[in-house]
Amino acid sequence: MKPVVLVTRKLPDAVEARLSRDYDAKLNPDDALYTSDEIIERAQGADAILPCHTEKFTADVIARLPDSVRVIANFSVGYDHVDTEAAKKKGLIVTNTPDVLSDATAELTIMLMLGAARRASEGEKLVRTRQWKDWSPSFMVGIQMTGKRLGILGFGRVGRVVAARARGFGMEIHYNDVNRVAAELEEGAIYHETPEDLLPHCDFLAIHCVATPETTGLLNAERLALLPDDAIVTNASRGVVINDEALIAALKSSKVAAAGLDVFNNEPDIHPEYRELPNVFLMPHIGSATRETRDGMGFRALDNLDAVFAGKEPGDRVA
């Protein structure tokens, strides 16, 4: 008999085709957002669960999962939605999908930087609402990226690809991470031991760190004050890294000229003031949303499942 896999969201067609070929797949064709109780109910008899970051596997949820479940194979690189310690105690294997979304997320980061700096939300609204009247030297003046200093908080896979793309704009790269990376990975980027050391060098700031207790609320009022005036802030990692009230205050005061955000606290019920500020370029958490990347994420999750059910160690095990 094929292993039974509960799939919590609608996945790309090619991924579901492979799932259905190799497993007894319990799919979600309507893409309904299951509650925790529904996940537990639907997981009865399942050998594995293939969820996304939208499902929360707290210690309580994990404790209530049926004993038949052996693995949680996430369709995401982030796994902060899973209590990995609780999973270990229950004997569950947890995997993620790194590497495959680095290019797509880096592309979106460049879009966030450009969109924020060049006032894309304001300009598009003017055109769509027929409020664009004429051209003048003082009309819709933004901030140029070329030749500026880019600071990257979190110099992992995505952060390093962002640096590579930003070099095409002649940007000087600065970064902070828990540890300095090897010189061949730096490619000339300048390392700063702490966020406090990094921030004064950031005309543009791109956040690409993981969500942990240490990074929650990392960009607060005190650290925002260390940025140069008229800095641009972007976030395509996790919303919890930013203190919303602090960033909104900095945007209102023009300490921060603009922000480009793809991720938020309490998605999709984001802080309402973001919607009202003209100097915020907003995206609905679509960093990995390309056809190539979403297929790649699904196949990576299935590679991990294949390994587990073949009695091998999965390549992307996080618990």
Which of 53, 118, 174, 285 is the catalytic position?
285
SS3 readout for the chain: CCCEEEECCCCCHHHHHHHHHHCEEECCCCCCCCCHHHHHHHCCCCCEEECCCCCCECHHHHHHCCCCCCEEECCCCCCCCECHHHHHHHCCEEECCCCCCHHHHHHHHHHHHHHHHCCHHHHHHHHHCCCCCCCCCCCCCCCCCCCCEEEEECCCHHHHHHHHHHHHHCCEEEEECCCCCCHHHHCCCEECCCHHHHHHHCCEEEECCCCCCCCCCCECHHHHCCCCCCEEEEECCCHHHECHHHHHHHHHHCCEEEEEECCCCCCCCCCHHHHHCCCEEECCCCCCCCHHHHHHHHHHHHHHHHHHHCCCCCCCECC
To the query of whether residue 285 is one of the catalytic residues in this protein, the response is: yes
Which of 18, 238, 294, 300 is the catalytic position?
238
To the query of whether residue 238 is one of the catalytic residues in this protein, the response is: yes
Which of 41, 187, 222, 267 is the catalytic position?
267
To the query of whether residue 267 is one of the catalytic residues in this protein, the response is: yes
The catalytic site residues sit at 238, 267, 285
